[in-house]
Amino acid sequence: MFVSVLLLWICLSVFLVQFRCRRPKNFPPGPTALPFFGNALNLSVEKPLKYLESLRRTYGNIYSLYLGHRASVVVCGAQALKEALVNKAVDFAGRPQDMFLNAIVEDRGVILADYGHKWKEHRRFSLMTMRNFGLGKQSMEQRILRELQITINDLEKNTGRSLSAQVMFHNIASNVICLVLFGQRFEYDDEFIKMYVGNLTAINRIVNGPWAFVYDSFHWVRSLPLPFNKAFQIMETLKSMTISIINEHKKTRVPGQPRDFVDCYLDEMDKRINDNSSFCVEELLFSCTNIHAAGTDTTSNTLLVAFLYLMTKPHIQERCQQEIDKVLEGKDSATFEDRHNMPYVQAVVHESQRNADTVPLSVFHTTTRDTELMGYSIPKGTLIIPNLSSALSEEGQWKFPHEFNPENFLNDKGEFVKPDAFLPFSAGPRVCLGESLARMELFLILVTLLRKFRFIWPEDAGEPDYELVFGITVTPKPYNMKVELRELVQ
């Protein structure tokens, strides 16, 4: 019996030594990792940020984890994040190409494409196209304000009632993105857009679930009929829906007179038809789904956080309204330029983004070559997890790092200031494509709604819950809001 136990112990020890996750030389430190599983069993699917923060306290701002068999480096804090994403931008600009999310989008689309010629072409094109369609200019302002007027009309009919904030803000953000991509808005009860958004939401749910980890960690399971296959089926439906929009554009467009992102892309395809170009319908459809998903959830979730605090901290809402009334006196509507005369409102918008923490772990990067970071050696192809959340609540970077307080963005003179640790859009060459649009949307929506209405936490809603639900994008728990008309100061 003793000999059997001894032999079993020796075999187990040999197995653990042989198959343990071994860190390369001078690699960032981290917790001991199990064979096959790595550190995955310690990660809570619902609250992974708490575990990551505990590791940061133990190992510092740069540490390593194993997600299954794969070594990854977590980068925390404003200084380390800027060193990696800005100062060593090219070294850290890659994207992982063998993970679940990449497989779903077939390694296509401007957000998830790996660093290289194709990504550079599409990134340059997308930024130029969005600028040409008015991001930061009056034409985009008017589109946002027209969409807002539909919401205002609906709110006026429902004053005094309790309404779903989640539905309202998601509808606004989705339609603004649809105007940019497809040149059209959809009625909020339109079955096509409800199905489109529903499918994107379903994919996000699967990507954030345990089966995505199984897919990423154990390559041999990928051909098995397991639940993660549902995401691929849903994506086929999304592809079909997006192709129907693209085909309609092909029929109705006038070359050289683009109406939206899709028309611009089709024009670009025409120009490059003999260039062996990477521009093709498949890249277009995945760029559309990428941009729609990213632009809708992040904006709507930030607005949800903003109005949750505005309702439960009415003194902040009232101070915003006083500033809005003063600056917009005699004006029909706000413009994005008005932000320069509204330091407190600007502070509230940015504090909402800081607390919303909508993409806490950014989109994962990889290293494009062997490099080093803060004294550690990091081999080419290493998975990089930028912990943006760590900068947004970093001690020493904020006056009030753990509470909602607009003073985080105001100096002693009451002027708006933006600390270096404000990184909700990430930084460097992979910075969020839609940053300009998001900033404009958040300001115009908040100002326009607060000018017209007072938002109240419903009496029967119980205590507000500020805890966020983790996912690819983070969101508050669903809540309702009560709306009353204000008497405008003329």
Q: Per-block average pLDDT, block size 10, for the chain (490 residues)?
A: 42 40 85 84 77 94 90 96 96 91 88 89 89 63 91 91 89 92 90 90 83 82 90 94 95 92 93 84 93 89 96 97 96 94 98 95 94 96 95 95 97 95 93 90 96 94 87 85 77
pLDDT at 241: 94
Beta carbons within 10 angstroms of residue 315's beta carbon: 7
Closest CA to 397 of 81, 87, 77, 86: 77
Amino acid at 412: D
Contact 80, 59 (CB under 8 A): no
Amino acid at 366: T
pLDDT at 209: 79
CATH 1.10.630.10 fits 22-485, yes or no: yes
Using CA atoms, how far residue 31 sits from 184, 224, 325, 353, in Å, is: 50, 31, 54, 31
Distance, in Å, from the CA atom of 97 to the CA atom of 302, rounded to the nearest integer, reads: 29
**Sign of torsion, CA 366 369 373 375?**
positive
Contact 361, 386 (CB under 8 A): yes
Q: Which residues contact 28 (CB under 8 A, 6 or more apart)?
A: 59, 62, 63, 64, 73, 376, 378
Q: Which residues contact 336 (CB under 8 A, 6 or more apart)?
A: 136, 141, 440, 443, 444
pLDDT at 489: 44
Beta bridge partners of 421: none
Using CA atoms, how far residue 278 sits from 113, 174, 239, in Å, is: 12, 28, 18
Whole-structure pTM over 0.85, yes or no? yes
pLDDT at 18: 40
Distance, in Å, from the CA atom of 176 to the CA atom of 359, rounded to the nearest integer, reads: 20
Amino acid at 33: A
Tokens encoding 68: 């299954």
Q: Please give the DSSP secondary-structure letter assigned to residue 429.
A: G
CA angle 323, 324, 326 (to 5 degrees): 65
Q: Which residues contact 183 (CB under 8 A, 6 or more apart)?
A: 259, 260, 262, 263
Distance, in Å, from the CA atom of 235 to the CA atom of 274, rounded to the nearest integer, reads: 30
